[in-house]
Amino acid sequence: MRLSPTGIQFYIFALAFAASFVAMWTTLVVHREYAIFTDEETLPASTDIFSSIIGEDEVEE
């Protein structure tokens, strides 16, 4: 079956999409290559926004 130019474009896009998912799965789930912040002093700024969004009182301790 011959693919149309649009079909080829679609499959290239889908392949790139899948490749990025595989990269994420391999890095984050298989190898767990991500930073873990345990000290509030060293936390990057963006986490403050999220904490205030969630609200400390909502968290089930």
- Assess contact for 11 and 3: CB atoms under 8 A: yes
Of 32, 35, 53, 57, the residue nearest 44 (C-alpha): 35
Site for other proteins contains 50 (CB under 8 A): yes
- Assess contact for 19 and 25: CB atoms under 8 A: no
Site for other proteins contains 53 (CB under 8 A): yes
* Cβ distance to other proteins smaller for residue 1 or 59: 59
Site for other proteins contains 1 (CB under 8 A): no
Note the residues at the interface with other proteins (CB under 8 A).
6, 9, 13, 16-17, 19-21, 23-29, 32, 34-40, 43-44, 46-47, 49-56, 58-61
